[in-house]
Structure formats: structure tokens, C-alpha cells
């Protein structure tokens, strides 16, 4: 059985306990997910490249930046400058930019990802699907934590895995949105490579990050019948 990877969404962490929570997660998580919102693409403003630099001071885990912005080109270069391992862009704002930005990220020795909203079909990325390193499927509408889980979006994860197997593509498949006890079993059936976990699946389970993590693990194991290594 392949290893299940968990990537905490740091937008939902307790910033009053930043060092404490990161220090614990460094030993348990597989990577970090950092949402960068500009207040235009979504009506919210959250983290930034500066925040990623702060994480770098106390963590060596890979970081994936999720750009929920109207002008990805503005942010891509900033993330290249700080060598963020994964730079993931919403396909809904990539028209006329996709090849240029993917090449720019790859030329810097970094990995390029694309993100699809729940209503966006996967055929939008077919022109450059062979170039991307990661495809993230949103299972909630973007912009805020704690939104309704959109189960139908999981079908795109299944389709992407099938396309990868049939065509030898190299991308990994990630899911983002309401990954928690209520949804773990259905997500597990779709079988993404990476689960992004936020408030409902991790940080909101307990004020103590170790207890919250252990509860998350128990929730996953009990609902899926699988034991995490």
C-alpha cells in the first residue's frame, strides 16, 4: 500500500503557537501548504512569500504555495526568488500564461503545479498536462476555511490517476478542501497522493497540536480501515 501523505494548510494553524506547532509538524507532516490570496481572486487576504521565509527558518520540509490570485506572474517570480519548492497556480487565471509560467518555474529548478476549482473540468489542462508536476483538485470553493465538501470533485482525482497511468505522466495528484473524519473514507476511495488538512481535519481538533495530530490519525484509520505507517 502506498504511503498516504499529509500536508497541513498553515492558513488554519494557531499563529500564536507558530514555533510550537511547526516544530511538532516537522516530525510528522510530509510537506506544508501555504495559501497566498490577494483579496481579488478570492475575497480574502492570507499568507505571503514572507511567511514562507519565516517557516524556512525552522523547517526543512517542502513547501507548496497555492496562488489564489488574479495575477500569478507577479507572485511566481517572488516565490522563485525564495526558492519555494512547489508553485501552484489556478488554471482559471492562466489563459495565455500557462506555458510561460510553467517554463519559468522549471527553469528555476522548481516544481510547477496547477489547481482546479470544483466546477473546472480537467480537460482545461490537457494542452500542458504533460508539463506539470502536480495537479490539485479543490473539493471546496476557494477562499475560506470550513466550507462545504463537494464530493463530486473527487471524480476528477480518479480520472487524473487513470490518465497518468495510461499516458505515463509524472504529476502527483493532491486534494484540497474539508479533508476530515466525515470525508476521509470517500477521499481514500478516490486515492489522491496528498491530502491537504486544515482546520476541520487537524488544527481545530485540539489546542494541543500533538493531540490534534493523533486525533487526525485516529479519524483517518477508523474511517478508512487503514493503518498509517
Q: Which residues are marked as active site? A: 35, 176
- SS3 of 80, please? helix
List C-alpha distances in Å: 221 to 176, 213, 227, 229.
19, 12, 5, 11
Residue 40, annotated ligand binder?
no
Residue 9, annotated ligand binder?
no
Query: What pairs with residue 7 in β-bridges?
Result: 196
Query: What pairs with residue 65 in β-bridges?
Result: 34, 87
Rounded (5°) CA angle 1-126-150: 60
- SS3 of 175, please? strand
Residue 143, annotated ligand binder?
yes
Residue 218, annotated ligand binder?
no
Residue 33, annotated ligand binder?
yes
Residue 66, annotated ligand binder?
yes
Single out the residue of 107, 8, 12 nearest to residue 61, CA to CA. 8
Residue 178, annotated ligand binder?
yes
Judged on CB neighbours under 10 Å (0-12, 13-18, 19+), 166 is exposed
What is the Cα 54 distance to its own chain's centre?
19
Binding-site residues from annotation for substrate:
66, 143-146, 176-178
Binding-site residues from annotation for a divalent metal cation:
33, 35, 66, 176
Binding-site residues from annotation:
33, 35, 66, 143-146, 176-178
Amino acid at each position: 500500500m502506498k504511503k498516504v501523505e499529509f500536508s497541513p494548510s498553515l492558513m488554519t494553524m494557531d499563529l500564536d503557537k507558530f514555533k510550537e506547532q511547526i516544530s511538532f509538524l516537522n516530525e510528522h507532516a510530509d510537506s506544508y501548504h501555504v495559501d497566498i490570496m490577494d483579496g481579488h481572486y478570492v475575497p480574502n487576504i492570507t499568507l505571503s512569500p514572507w511567511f514562507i521565509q519565516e517557516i524556512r527558518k525552522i523547517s526543512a520540509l517542502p513547501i507548496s504555495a497555492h496562488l489564489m490570485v488574479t495575477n500569478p506572474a507577479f507572485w511566481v517570480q517572488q516565490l522563485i526568488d525564495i526558492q519555494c519548492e512547489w508553485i501552484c497556480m489556478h488554471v482559471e487565471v492562466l489563459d495565455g500564461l500557462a506555458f510561460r509560467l510553467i517554463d519559468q518555474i522549471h527553469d528555476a529548478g522548481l516544481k510547477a503545479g496547477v489547481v482546479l476549482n470544483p466546477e473546472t473540468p480537467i480537460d482545461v489542462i490537457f494542452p500542458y498536462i504533460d508539463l506539470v508536476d502536480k495537479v490539485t483538485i479543490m473539493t471546496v470553493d476557494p477562499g475560506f476555511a470550513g466550507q462545504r465538501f463537494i464530493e463530486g470533485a473527487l471524480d476528477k482525482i480518479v480520472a487524473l490517476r487513470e490518465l497518468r497511468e495510461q499516458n505515463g505522466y509524472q504529476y502527483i495528484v493532491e486534494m484540497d478542501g474539508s479533508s476530515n473524519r466525515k470525508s476521509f473514507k470517500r477521499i481514500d476511495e478516490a486515492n489522491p497522493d496528498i491530502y491537504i488538512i486544515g482546520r476541520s481535519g487537524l488544527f481545530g481538533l485540539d489546542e494541543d497540536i500533538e493531540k490534534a495530530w493523533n486525533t487526525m490519525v485516529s479519524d483517518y484509520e477508523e474511517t478508512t480501515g487503514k493503518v498509517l505507517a
